[in-house]
Every structure is written in structure tokens, then in C-alpha cells.
Amino acid sequence: MSRDEASSPDTSGNDSEEEWDSYPFPLKNTPADEVESESKRRGKSIYQNYEILGRILERHEETIQKRWLKKNRKQRLEVLLTAWPDMPPTHRPLFDFWRQVAADREVRVKQHSSILWPYINKESLGNPTPFLLLLNSRGRHPPPLFLDTDVQYFHKAVWIYMSVKKPYLTEDMKIILRGVSDGDYGILRKVPEAPPGVWLHLSNKDFNWPTSTIYGREWPVWQYSTASGMVILEIQERLMDFLVKCCYRILHEIEPQNLFSDAYPVQPEPELPSNTHTEGLQTSLLQITFEAPYRVPTRLDFANLEKLFAARAAAAEDHVWAMREDPNYFAEQISDMYNHVQLIGNTREHKSKWGAAIGQVLANAYTMIEVFTEAHRITKRLCQLQEKYVSVINPTEKLPDEYNDQIRLFLCFVLNMRENVILPKLEFLVKRSPSVRAAINLWRLRPEDRDRPLTFNEQFLLYWVVLHVFEKRGMFEADQDVVPDIFVMNMVMNDLELQTERDKTIRDLLSPTAHAMMGDFTIIIQTLHALERFEPWSRGFSGQVSDDTLDWSRAFIRSRLDILEQIHDAFEETPAPDLLPFVENKLGKFAYPEHRRRNKENVEMMRRAESNLDAFWARADRYLYDRTKNMNESILMGLLKSPRVLQRTPEWVEPTKEKRKVLDIEQPLSTFFFGLSSDDRDTNASGRLPIKPAKTKLKTRGTTNKSAEADEVPAEAMAEVALEDPKPVFKVDRRALKTFRILFYDPDVTSTPGEVPWNDFLHALTSVGLAAEKLYGSVWQFSPYTLEANGSIHFHEPHPHNKVPFVIARRHGRRLYRTYGWTGEQFVLDKGDYGGGITR
């Protein structure tokens, strides 16, 4: 694709040399002694203000917090603008500046503050919490702790053409910011003309370089180029000066020279204000991302990643389960994918778009199970190791070998999944989403030949997201990056999240399937970004220290990729003609009127759709069996062979006056694979299709019909029910009860099914002990908070309307049943209507 010349900056390198420089200190023709003089001046200024700020906080932080929280927004801004007069009004995506450079070359000067300090803005700091977080983090922790945070803004300076281009006089030198004393912060050193491993054996005084043993042997500490180092020092110098001036203004009645007198003794550090865990509603990943610049860089918490991957793996299983159980859901997935398919590239072997759509849906569903379940297994092991070694981990020493090896395995696994699985699938879905495809066709035309201009959201998606995630790989990759392209991808995804929060119509450009894959990509990017910033050990994960340490994990990753390749070949590459008759007449065989009141006609139609769906999956499972080999180690086979059950509609029985329970019919998730042992591949399995269906089970959970025959319950079924643990009863308020009656719809209890407002859905789940956490895009994670249960679950916030349709609400109910075993009978009205509770 070509870039729109009218809307994107010129990257041809035609700028004059004076324009390509570091602001505000020019590097292009400045000799080393002048550069070092300025860098050391900045370093001294930073540490002087760090010492002042630290002493202020030791004595006055609690007073500052109380005064700040009492101020209204206008009063807070008055203080901030005194110390930073040109403070920008909002936190804007970098795309806003990037697209303006072509039209206004002075934008990088005018918006200097917004680019290097995007978190310093009226919109954010006018709120009560961010300033106090920033004050505490920068005042109580030394400047080198924030180097990895601040260098990100140098990358933005590069992107917006604010950084000097080579050649410049000090390009072969480094500014030393790590592993040095306060007085040497910002000194200049010439890079030795020798491999790093040889530096330590040379006696030349010019090679006086900080070293570390955290990689297992002594190794030179990585430092910063003069271009990046000067920008980092500029960022830290102005920020520290700003915070000190704000403190002076807040404590205005005390003269600066008296702030540290004996009248103000050192106080214990006060607790920081927090907005998290409020009535079961946790902060979103978006909020955590926005708060990150104000906080101390966090250590990698594998427990959070384990919880995230566990919920995503469960969602992947639920997706396969729902496609086998719910004809409507299955038809929606195939139909949405059909809108993406063009019989080109990997799909060219298919003779039908419907066939290609089936192959994509099945391959994607099975692939996500493998990827996220394996990621969950690895993070679960990492949680155990993190807990095991928590008392011995020291940032000045190497990690224990067992822990280090497992982290490197995790990094290699996630990076391989990004490159070989998620990115190719995401590119296919994004570029072939109908609305994006139309915008791309418009983009390819010259502006004067278009029948309409591209909208801002179209430009943002194409020029920013598509261009930099798929088209411009490696454009801003730095030598020191552990994860290739991580800065660009992380920033682009954060900007997309920010833009989506401000204008939700951008969601309309992507199909539901593309949205789901974008969410998976976000999980992968945030995980890689966390590993990239796992300082100081992450530099040892890149393979630059000793490549052979990665050999042990290659066989494992290769085995996982082999499984994914077999799944890809079985469905995406190879047509499955026997599946095409099922999708004739635009999926008419899967018409499933579950939203209608039960009568004989509707029940027969539902049973017919379920029968067609069962037949489809029996054929599809046979294809999987015949076209793959050595799949016994796959996670997918474990799922398909498991004793999980699908709900099926029983035959219609004419109602009588007396209401009795009619039992749902349940059958295995896969009638083909259920009971198939690992040794069955070694025998002649050709007779397994058609297969005799497994014996169905009858359970008391189900629809309520009026049948005298319901008393004829098999003894084994009654015994199974009797042995089940008693279910908890949830006492909830009227608002929550109404929601649960729709989620677990029973026509004899709720006369008319309806939609569920999203806020009511959040209220219902949090009222019974689940914490709601918005993750990214439309994805919310619900985790046990006061509820006695294991496992988290993901749901998507509806768009564009803020209500969950009845059919989707029923699916949510089935997922809650599969995850927590909940049924409609467990929810009763709290007579006091106090807001909910649990009894047993």
C-alpha cells in the first residue's frame, strides 16, 4: 500500500540538517567536550532537585496529599500552570502530531512538551491522583530507575523527527547513566572498538565502563547514545524542576530554606491514594497504562499474567464449545468470516468462499486453544518459581537458573506466537474487514480521484495501526531491544485504545472477528512489553549474551508450531468438500429460534438445527483425524476427548395442567473423539464414522415443560444428581435478579425475554462476588473477589448499543454455567433488597 502524501509526513530525508537535531540542545556539529559539559550539568541539576524533592516528601508528603485532595480542579491547575505554563490541554495520540508534520514542519517545536512529556497535561493532572503518584515515584526513587520509562519518549522524538540524524560528531560515544555515582550521572564515554566480551580484558583507560554479573558472568552495562541520553536528561531535568516548584507552591506559607528545619521532623511515608478495587470494579488495563508514567516501574507480576491467560484459554475453549452447541453462534462465526474471504493467497485452493470461511473459522478456533492454554501452563509454572525465589532475587545478581530458563522459554514462546500465528491472522482479518477493505481501496487512489476523503478514523487505522504493525516492521527497532518492534507495537496499540475510548465509532471499521483477534494481539503485546521491561535481567534474554542457552527450548517450541501447522494445513490450506452442503442457502440449516416461546414447531426447528450441527462436526472431526498425525500431545485432542457435554433440546411433549421438569439431553463435545484412546491411531479407525453416539445423559437442569413423563428418571441419573454438592444460593436485589433471569431464561418464570443493559450485567456479576476489570477494547474480565470459586471469565461489552441482546445473554448464561456451575434456581430475591449476598 502507498501512503497518502497529503496526510502523512515526508520521510524521504529531504529536511535540512538543522531541522534534524535534538531539542533543545543541538548535537549535529557540537564537539564531545561541549556535549559532556551540558550532559553533566543536566545530571547535576537532576540529582540536586531529586535530593530537595526527597527531603520535602520525607517531612511534608502527607500535608501535600491532604492539601492537593482538598483542591478543586481549577485550583489544582493554577498550581500546575505556575510551574509549567505551556502545559498541553490533553493527552493526545502521537498520530495527531505525526500526521501534522507534513502540513506544519514547526509542529515538532510547538508540540515539544506534548511529545516528550505526554503525561504532563491538564486533562490528566487536573484529576486528584496522577500528580500525587508522580510526586511520590520521582521523589522517593532515584532517576536511573526511570531510564527505561523515559527512553520511550526518545523513541517518540525519533518518530516525530526531533532527534539528530547520523552522522554527528559524538555518534561513537555513549552517555553513562547506569551503574555510576550521582556525580558521574551523564558523563561521556567513547565506545570501545572491540567486541563487548573483550572489553573487560583491555587495560585502556577509555574502556572504564560500568559492569554487571547479572547474566552469569561479568558483562558491560548497556548505556545510551548521545542522542537518546540527551533527550532522557532533558526529560528528567524539567520534570524534577516542575515537581519541586509545585511543592513550593503547595507549601507556600513555608519559606523554601525552612522546609527542612527541625520544626518539620521526618515522617513515615503515607499511603498513596488509589482508585482500584472499588466495590468489585477494578482498574482497566487502559487505566493502568495511563497511570504507568506516574508510578514506579513495576516488577513483572506473573500472577496477573497467569490469571489473564487462564481466562483467555477458558474463553477459547468456550468458543469451540459454543460453536458445537449453539447453531446460531456457529452460523454467526461462519457468516462473519465469509465477509472477509477472497479466494487468493492461502485460500486459493478453495473453490467456494463458504469452504474457505469454514477452514478459517475452525483453524483459528483450534489455534487459539493451543496458544493460550500453553501460555497459561507456562505462566502457572512461572508463578510457582516467582514465589519460590522471592526471597533470594536481587536486582544486582543473576536470576536462579531454573527461573531464568523458564522466563526465556516464555519469551521465546510468546514471541514465536506473535510472529507465526497472531500477526498473520490479524493482518488477514483487519485488511479484509469489509469497511477497512473499502478504505484501503480509497487509500490507493490519488486524493483527487477519490469520491470522498478518508475519515479521521480511517486515516488513523490505515496510516497508524496497519502501516506500523504490518508494513513498517523494524522501522524504529533499536539495537538494545530485547523484543523486536515492541516499542512501536505497544505504542500503536495504546493509541488505538485511547482513540477508541474517545470515539467508539472506530470499532465500526473492524468486524467482530477482527476485534476479537485484535484483543488477542493486545494480550501478546502487553506480555512482551512487560518482559522487555523486566529490568535489569531482560537484556540477558535477548540471546546476545550466549545464544546456546536458548537451544533447550527450541525443540519444545518447534513441537508446538508443528501442531499449529497441521491444524492450518488441515483446514485453511486444504478444501473440505463434504462440509459445503451444510452451509447451503446461506446457512439456512442452522436456523435456531431459541428466542421464541417453545411450541412444537419451534422445538422441532431447534432440534433439526442441532442435528445438522452435530452432523457437521462429526464430518469436521473426521477431516481433522485423517489430515493430522501425532496430535496426541496437542491440547485440542485433550479437549475433544474430554467428558464435557453439550446441551440438546428434548422432543416436544404437549403440556398438561401440572408443571413438571423435563430433562435436557446432553452429549459429548465430540462424538468422534470421545473415548478415542491414544492407541486408536495405531489400529484401523476407518469405521469410526458414522459412529454410534455416546449414551446421552439426563440431568435435572433444563427447560421447564409440563410433562407427566418427567417422573421416569433413570436411577443412575438420580444417583448422579444426589451425589452433586449442594449449590450456593445467591440473595440478590431486584435489578440483579432480573438480569440473572434473562441469563438463565426459563419461560415459566420470565414471561418475556429481553435485552440486558451492560451496567445491569456488571452490577449482577459484581453483586455475587466477581470483580469486574476492563482489559482492552470491549473485553472485560470477571474474577472471584468475594466469591468462593476458581477461574476468571471474559465477556465482551456490546457495541454500538449498550445492551446485551437476549440471544447473547443466553450464551453468557451457558458460559457461566460451564465455568461456575450456576443455574437460574440459585438466584433469589433478597427480601431486604440490600444489594445482594450469598447463603449456603
For the segment 428-463, what is each residue's pLDDT rounded down to a tens digit?
999 999 999 999 988 888 888 888 998 989 988 988
Which among 81, 29, 67, 62 is positioned nearest to 136, based on CA atoms? Answer: 62
Q: What's the grid cell of residue 181?
A: 555515582
User: Residue 352: its pLDDT value, please?
Assistant: 84
Q: Could you count the other beta carbons within 10 Å of the beta carbon of residue 286?
A: 17
Grid coordinates representing 673 are 473423539
Secondary structure of residue 17 in the 3-state scheme: coil
Chain-centre distance for alpha carbon 83: 36
In the beta sheet, which residues pair with residue 188?
Answer: 175
Tracing cell 470494579 back to the chain, one arrives at 281
In angstroms, the CA 459 to CA 7 distance is 8
Residue pair 567/367 in contact by the 8 Å Cβ criterion: yes
Instruction: With CA atoms as reference, report the closest residue to 334 among 314, 313, 312, 364.
Output: 364
DSSP-derived secondary structure for 727-767: PPEEEE-HHHHHHHHHHT--TTT-SS---EEHHHHHHHHHH
User: C-alpha distances in angstroms, 97 versus 102, 133, 157, 395, 582?
Assistant: 10, 27, 11, 38, 51
Cα 426 to Cα 70, 214, 418, 422, 459: the distances in Å are 47, 37, 10, 6, 18
Contact 731, 836 (CB under 8 A): yes
**Local mean pLDDT, 10-residue blocks, the chain (840 residues):** 38 43 73 94 97 97 96 96 92 73 64 86 92 96 91 82 79 89 91 60 54 66 88 96 98 93 93 58 58 81 88 92 94 93 65 88 96 96 94 83 89 92 94 91 86 89 87 63 80 85 85 90 89 76 53 80 92 85 87 86 94 95 90 90 86 73 67 61 42 41 38 39 67 94 80 85 94 83 85 86 90 90 91 55
Q: Quick one: pLDDT at residue 696?
A: 41
Q: Give Cα separations from 372 to 298, 382, 527, 528, 530 (angstroms).
A: 24, 15, 12, 14, 17
3-class SS string, 347-383: HCCCCCHHHHHHHHHHHHHHHHHHHHHHHHHHHHHHH
- Centre a 10 Å sphere on the Cβ of residue 211 and count the other Cβ atoms it contains: 12
Contact 139, 57 (CB under 8 A): yes
- Beta carbons of 482 and 410 less than 8 angstroms apart: no
Distance CA 793, CA 812 (A): 10
- Which residues does 641 contact at the CB level (< 8 Å), separation at least 6? 670, 673, 674, 675, 676
Per-residue pLDDT at 401: 85
Element (H, E) at 333: helix 327-338
Place of cell 497535561: 121
Q: Say which residue the cell 445492551 belongs to.
A: 803
Residue 418, classified by CB atoms within 10 Å of its CB into exposed (0-12), middle (13-18) or buried (19+), is buried
Alpha helix stretches (DSSP H) within 160-283: 196-199, 226-250
Identify the CA nearest to 601 among candidates 647, 648, 649, 646. Answer: 649
User: Phi and psi at residue 184, in whole multiples of 5°?
Assistant: -100, 5
> Are 511 and 434 within 8 A, CB to CB?
yes
CA atoms within 13 A of residue 638's CA, in its CB half-sphere: 8
CB 773 within 8 A of CB 282: yes
How many residues are present in the chain? 840
Q: Is the dihedral of CA 266, 267, 268, 271 positive or negative?
A: negative
The Cα 65–Cα 72 span in angstroms is 13
Query: What is the distance between the alpha carbons of residues 242 and 246, in angstroms, rounded to a whole number?
Result: 6
pLDDT score at 275: 55
> For residue 698, what pLDDT is reported?
40
468 Cβ partners below 8 Å, 6+ apart? 475, 488, 489, 492
Cell numbers 483459528 correspond to what residue?
364
Residue 518 CA to residue 496 CA, distance in Å, equals: 10
Partnered with residue 770 across adjacent β-strands are 784
All 3 cell numbers of residue 498? 485511547
Does the pTM exceed 0.85?
Answer: no
Edge-to-edge, what's the strand order for the sheet holding 224-225? 187-190, 173-176, 224-225
Domain parsing of the chain, residue ranges:
32-265, 302-571, 591-723, 729-839
Q: Are strands 827-829 and 729-732 parallel, antiparallel or unpaired?
A: parallel
Look at residue 99 and give its three-state secondary structure.
coil
pLDDT one-digit tens code per residue, 61-114: 999 999 999 999 999 999 999 999 999 888 877 777 776 765 566 666 677 788
